[in-house]
Chain A
Amino acid sequence: EADIYQTPRYLVIGTGKKITLECSQTMGHDKMYWYQQDPGMELHLIHYSYGVNSTEKGDLSSESTVSRIRTEHFPLTLESARPSHTSQYLCASSSLHGYTFGSGTRLTVV
């Protein structure tokens, strides 16, 4: 049973729209991450957080932004969506025993 939840599961949106992808976890983990993954391709870390009010950019440059106001919540925002943002976005949280991933949001920008 998943303890990390992402919504929406699928999103099709027009160019220029502002979107927020939601990610919540109930495990009390301090560390949370956002990855971007195109079909059949590698995972790319775009943002991470080690706790409330702590956010860092990942290895892959992204036009998205994140916030961490509460431990359990780590939303990702795109101010103006473009077709190049079409991808799958995966949220994860971690303990010493590894990462737990959410089900992902598949974003299509038309």
Chain B
Amino acid sequence: QKEVEQNSGPLSVPEGAIASLNCTYSDRGSQSFFWYRQYSGKSPELIMSIYSNGDKEDGRFTAQLNKASQYVSLLIRDSQPSDSATYLCAVAAAAAGNKLTFGGGTRVLVKP
């Protein structure tokens, strides 16, 4: 079992709809959770971070964390073609020196 698991996709979403991405992790000691967006051929860029249970909203993005279920999700509202990218879930634990463990990424395709 991988430490951080994501569905590889592609997740096909109509323009204007909500894209829902899921991520599960195995280390119960994980404390910090991040979502990165990576366009093809580019480097990852941080879009959301979340540290406590519940929801965190930033513009069209909402991150949700449930530590009991070891589950973190990302919602993209009003999806735009420019949101088409691979979304990487990353998890850090203090015991690992806060080194990030990345999931394999979910590819999202927003169709006009």
Contacts and interface: CB of A to CB of B under 8 A. Distances in A.
Contact of A100 (B40, B46, B97): B46
B49 A43 contact: no
A74 interface: no
A48 B99 contact: yes
Contacts of B98: 31, 94, 96
B99 to A, nearest CB: 7
Interface in A12-70: 31, 33, 39, 42-43, 45, 48, 50
Interface stretch (B61-69, B73-81, B100-108): B100-108
A101 B44 contact: yes
Contacts of B49: 97-98
Contacts, number: 44
> Secondary structure at chain A's binding surface: helix, strand, loop or mixed?
strand
B72 interface: no
Contacts of A96: 32, 98
B88 interface: yes
A86 interface: no
Contacts of A50: 97
B43 A104 contact: yes
B87 interface: no
26 contacts: A31-B97, A31-B98, A31-B99, A33-B99, A39-B40, A42-B102, A42-B104, A42-B105, A43-B44, A43-B88, A45-B99, A90-B43, A90-B44, A94-B98, A96-B32, A96-B98, A97-B46, A98-B32, A98-B100, A99-B36, A99-B44, A100-B46, A101-B45, A103-B42, A103-B43, A104-B43
